[in-house]
A = this chain, B = another copy of it.
């Protein structure tokens, strides 16, 4: 992994790490290298990453892919990361920063897979309405937008990193 000066108390990673540490302790679980590395990586990358991407970014030898899967489950349960599903059959994760911006959605280019974050969520109130209308509780929602980004619109879009939907996004 690209090691940042993570041994100093005032390290940037201190914030999420501190929370991790204390929370893990409460669950009588451990603050291990892989877990720290994953959090550190997600702090830099501000966009959702797949487990495979995380694995690659950490340096093949540093952490096993299976461990990443296990860690993401743990971190998700603890609410430290959020799972996103863009419909291509691969899970993506983002670090949950304590403050606002916590809840947001994405605008994904179906062509180049570029991702834009949409901060304002308006569906919140709907959640309540939907819940009330059908007697459901603890209602949450998933909302993502898909479209073709400016770049891809003009350039006879070269499906560079586009690979969403195990099936071709745009039929060209």
Contacts and interface: CB of A to CB of B under 8 A. Distances in A.
A135 B123 contact: no
B134 A116 contact: yes
A167 B137 contact: no
Contacts of A148: 136-138
A141 B142 CA distance: 10
B143 A139 contact: no
A32 interface: no
A14 interface: no
Interface in A7-54: none
Interface residues of A, number: 40
A99 interface: no
A130 interface: yes
Nearest to A121: B126
13 contacts: A77-B171, A116-B134, A116-B136, A123-B143, A131-B147, A136-B150, A137-B147, A138-B147, A138-B161, A140-B145, A140-B147, A141-B144, A141-B146
Interface of A: 73, 77, 83, 85, 87, 89, 91, 107, 109, 116, 118, 122-123, 126-127, 130-131, 134-150, 153, 160-161, 165, 167, 171
**Shortest 3 CB-CB contacts between residues of A and residues of B:** A139-B147, A136-B147, A135-B150
